[in-house]
Amino acid sequence: MDNLKITTENRLLNNEEKIQEQQEVIFMNVSKRIGRAFPTAPFQRTKKSEKPDTEVFERHRSK
């Protein structure tokens, strides 16, 4: 019984580690996509020629 309990606990720990890694990868991918859709925040803009975020986002989404 003890071996079964230890094996089960190890599997759970491995699953938790895998889930953590997957969450980190997903977070990085989402961060990259947001960065592409919104290259700069509105308050960081200095040029008037730059498009607002909504237009950049719509253009990105339509691809």
* pLDDT at position 50: 56
What pLDDT sits at residue 19?
Answer: 95
More confident residue, 14 or 57: 14
- Could you tell me the end-to-end alpha-carbon distance of the chain, in angstroms, rounded to an integer? 56
Single-letter residue type at 42: P
Measured CA to CA, the distance from residue 58 to residue 61 in angstroms comes to 5
Average pLDDT over residues 53-63: 60
The per-residue pLDDT for 12 is 94
Dihedral sign (CA 43, 45, 49, 54): negative
pLDDT tens-digit profile of 12-56?
A: 999 999 999 999 999 998 888 887 777 665 555 555 555 555 665
The alpha carbon torsion through 23, 28, 30, 35 (nearest 10 deg) reads 160
What does the angle CA 5 – CA 7 – CA 13 come to, to the nearest 5 degrees?
A: 105
Question: What pLDDT is attached to residue 27?
Answer: 92
